[in-house]
Each structure stands twice: as structure tokens, then as C-alpha cells.
Amino acid sequence: MTQDHKQQAEAEWWSTAIIEMEPGVIRYRGYPIEELIGRASFAQMIWLLLRGELPSRDQAALLDIALMAAVDHGPQAPSIAIARMAATCGVGLNNAMASAVNVLGDVHGGAGEQALEFYFGIAEAINGGAEIEAAAASALDAFFADGGRFLPGFGHRFHPVDPRAPRLLAMVDDYAKKGAVSGHYATIARAVESALARCKGKTVPMNIDGATAVIYAELGFPPPLARGLFCLSRSVGILAHAWEEMQSGLRNKGPLPRERLWNYLGPPQRPVIGLEEG
């Protein structure tokens, strides 16, 4: 590698199509920031940075709805509890947010991503000629045959019906009527809900993750961004709880008040034998 090629390689090591800068100039995806400010909303900027183009007003409105609907589910969620405990440990709000967002993993924050993949699989089968009910039923069969237990996006361990899901789906219907989105994934998700009810012998209604996944699918987001966008959304609740707790003045808040200890399950007291001192 010549010196020139080496410099070239280094110059290209840090590359991006998101942002361009010169002294006094900032452009996102080609748009000067000073033209965006006052014209593009926060939701439009999120879309622009993630997708490369500005969304229509309706697309941005639907994205905004998915983001506003998932902000918080209370301190029983590990992410929120972590944010609150972190806020009492002498770290900054940014650190409390980080410890909390960090746990939005496959189990806690991944259901939207997994639901999106599930819907996309059904859509592909439909594209290949399958009928929607058959495609949904067959995807479900495959899920359970593969050892799946909880279908991502359906059912809730606390809410018999998640109050967010029907309202979100109604919004999708409204935007589909306006022609802003196709409504195809709302139909698919409802077919999944029906097939699941037949399969389980009882209704297992769509939850927030299943419903926001419909929105993200309608808007054309790839599955991993369903998780990314959920992280943005839940960061709001995480911040709010961290801030509320920070004002409590508690120090080193644990999961239980300090009088309460955990349940010890290990061996009883025993002496250390066979290890010499020092």
C-alpha cells in the first residue's frame, strides 16, 4: 500500500451519507440545517436521518404516533426501574438513560422488531401467491413448531387488552383511508390475531409492539429500526422517571426498602478450611 493509498484508506475509514460539514455549514442528507429548522418536525428529522429522504406530512404524523404511544409502561419494567435506581447513585441523567436503554434487548425491547419480521414473512408469502389467512396460519404454525412460545406483538402479561393497540390500529385505518399508507399490514396483523385466536382457542389480542410494528411496516422501516425507534420512544419515559427520582433525594435506591433483605438460598454458614493466611 503506497502512502497515498494509505491516506486514502484512512480518509475513507470514517464515512457517512448522513451528515456533511464545513466550517459554518451543516447539511443532513444534503439539506442545509438552517432550511430545515422551522420547517421539518422532530419526527421528520428522525425519518430523514434514518431513511435518507424527507417523509410526507402524513408519513411523519404516523411515525410521530408510534413514537408517542410507547413512551412509558411504568417502573415495573426493568428499564424504568433501572433509570430510577441509577438516578440515586450519583451519576448524570445521560448515564441513567444509558443504563436503562441498554436493557431494551431481545426480550424487553425486541418484540416490535420480531413482529415486523413476522409480518414481513407473511407479506412475502402473499406476494408469492398465498392467501392472507392461509399465510398467517402457516406462519403461526411454523413459529410454534420452531419452539416459539410467546408470539411477539400479541398478548400481554398484565393487560387483558392493551388499550394502546386498538387505538393505534384505528389510526392506521384512518391514514389508509386517506391513502397515506396501504393498510396492507393492518390487514395482515388482524389476520394473525384471528389465526392466533383459532390456534389458542381464546383471544390473544395485539399489544403495543404488534401495533407499532404495523405502523413501522406500513411506513417501510426495516425490522431492526423498530427496536431503534422503540428505544427513542421509551427514552422519554426513562428520562421522566430518572428525573422524578433524582428529585426524591434518595441515595442508592435498591429494589426494596433498606429494611428488607433478599431471600438467601445458598449453603449455611461454614468455616474456611484449607486456605492458609496471606
Residue 166, C-alpha cell as written in the block: 386498538
CB atoms < 10 A from the CB of 199, how many?
16
142 belongs to the binding site for a second copy (CB under 8 A): no
Element (H, E) at 22: strand 19-22
- Pick between residue 93 and residue 134 the one whose CB is nearest to a second copy: 93
Site for a second copy in 154-173 (CB under 8 A): 157-164, 166-168, 170-171
Site for a second copy in 226-245 (CB under 8 A): 227-229, 231-233, 235-237, 239-244
Lay out the site mask for a second copy across 173-202 (x = CB under 8 A, - = otherwise).
-x----------------------------
Contacting residue, 4, 14, 128, 179, with a second copy by CB under 8 A: 14
Residue 174, C-alpha cell as written in the block: 384512518
The torsion angles phi and psi of 111, rounded to 5 degrees, stand at -65, -35
Contacting residue, 2, 65, 152, 197, with a second copy by CB under 8 A: 65
Contacting residue, 59, 101, 151, 191, with a second copy by CB under 8 A: 101
Strands 25-28 and 31-32: antiparallel
Site for a second copy in 106-125 (CB under 8 A): 106-110
Q: How far is the CB of 28 from a second copy (least distance, A)?
A: 7
Contacting residue, 89, 142, 144, 148, with a second copy by CB under 8 A: 89
Element (H, E) at 37: none
The b/e string for 200-226 (b: 16+ C-beta within 10 A; e otherwise) is eeeebbbbbbbbbbbbbbbbebebebb
23 belongs to the binding site for a second copy (CB under 8 A): yes
Site for a second copy in 258-277 (CB under 8 A): 258-272, 274-277
CB atoms < 10 A from the CB of 113, how many?
25
Q: What angle do CA 243, 244, 246 make, to 5 degrees?
A: 60
How far apart, in whole angstroms, are the C-alpha atoms of residue 176 and residue 168?
Answer: 12
148 belongs to the binding site for a second copy (CB under 8 A): no
